Structure 1
C-alpha cells in the first residue's frame, strides 16, 4: 500500500530549495556528500519530525513538532537531509546533515511502502535514548503537525538503534513505548552503603 506522505509547508520547501541553490550554504555545510555529488540535487520525502516529550507517569505520550525534514536526493539515492525549523516568521531552512539515518530512513520508507496497510509517515525523535524512528500513523488524513502516537500505530526504529531495540523491525506503539519509558525512567538511585 502506498504511504500517504503529508505535504510540507510551502515555506519549508522554498527555504530548502533556496539553500540548495546557494553555493555558500552547500559549500559551508558539514556534508561532504553535498559538496562532491555530481548532478542535480532535489528535496524529496518531506517528513514532519516530532519529539517525544512524555512517556512516563502512565499518561498518554505527548509529542511536539520540531522540524520538517527533507531527504536530499542526487539522481540515484539520498545523499543528505535538510531540516527546517519554525521561526516567528514561519518555516525556515535550518541545516544540512548526513550520517547513518539518511540511508536508514530511506530503507524504512521502502519497507513501509510494502506494508499491507496505508500509513502517514512521520519521524519520531526520542532524545533521551538518542533514538529516531519512522512513525507510521494509521490516521492518513490527520494533520501532520500534531497528534500523538496511537497504540496501534507502528514505530520502526532507525539504525543505529539503542542496544536491545531491533532496528528496522516494526513495533506497535503499545508494545514499544513501555520499553522506552522503562529505559528513560530515572532509577531509584544508589542504596545506602553501596558505592555510588
Structure 2
C-alpha cells in the first residue's frame, strides 16, 4: 500500500471513541446517517487537517494544523466523519458531520492507493475558495502535523471543487498553488477617482 496513514494522537482518537460511545453526542449530531446507522461505528483513516492560511508566489504556502479528521465507518462504508481540535487542554472532539466530502475523500484515497509512489495522506483546506484537497505528501515518514506543500507533492481537489478546478484530478502543488493564488488574491483597484 503506497499510502502511509500517519497515526493520530491517542487523545484525539480517545475523544472520538468517547463521542461515538455517547448516545447524547450521536443523537444531537446533525448527521442523519450516523444516527440511523445499524451496528458498531468505528473511526478509521485519521488524517491531519491543515488550513492554507496564505499562498505566496515566491515561497512556500503558509499552513497550520487545524485538527484531525476520522472517517466513521459502519459496515462497508463511511457514513460520517468526526473532527477533533487542539485545545489548551489537549486534543478534544469537535463535531460529527456528513456530506459530499465523505465519499469524495474515500474515492480520492482509493485513487491514491493505486499510485506507484508512497505518499503520506493529509487534508488541505483552502477556506478562501471553500475547497478541500487530499494532500499527498511525498515524504511518508515526515511529521504529519507540520510542513507545507512541497512543489512535487500532489493535491487532489475533493468534490465539490470550485468552478474550473476538476475534482479527483491530481495536480502537482507547484502547478495548482499558483492557480489558487490567482483565485484567492483580490483584484487590484484600477485607479482612484479624480
TM-score strictly above 0.5: yes
The alignment partner of 1:135 has SS state of strand
Residue 187 of structure 1 aligns to a residue in which SS?
coil
Aligned to 2:70: 70
SS in 1 for 2:102: helix
Distance (Å, rounded) in 1 between the aligned partners of 2:83 and 2:30: 13
1:44-86 residue CA offsets vs partner (Å, 9 max, x unmatched):
0000000011113523211100010000000110000000000
Residue 159 of structure 1 corresponds to which residue in structure 2? 159
Q: TM-score, normalised by structure 1?
A: 0.96
Look up the match of 1:134. Answer: 134
Extract unaligned runs of 5+ from structure 2. none
Checking the alignment, whether the CA contact within 8 Å between 2:60 and 2:150 is kept in structure 1 is no
Q: Which residue of 2 aligns with 1:42?
A: 42
Q: What do the CA deviations read for 1:20-42 (whole angstroms, capped 9, x no partner)? A: 00000000000000111111100
Aligned residue pairs total: 193
Map of 1:95 onto structure 2: 95
Q: Where does residue 27 of structure 2 map in the other structure? A: 27
Gaps of 5+ in 1: none
Question: Which residue in the other structure is 1:119 paired with?
Answer: 119
User: For the residues of structure 1 that align with 2:156 and 2:34, how far apart are their CA atoms?
Assistant: 27
Q: Structure 1 residue runs of 4+, over 3 Å off? A: 190-193
TM-score, normalised to structure 2's length? 0.97
Hey, what's the Cα distance between the residues in 2 that align with 1:94 and 1:188? 38
Partners of 2:106 and 2:78 in 1: CA distance: 7
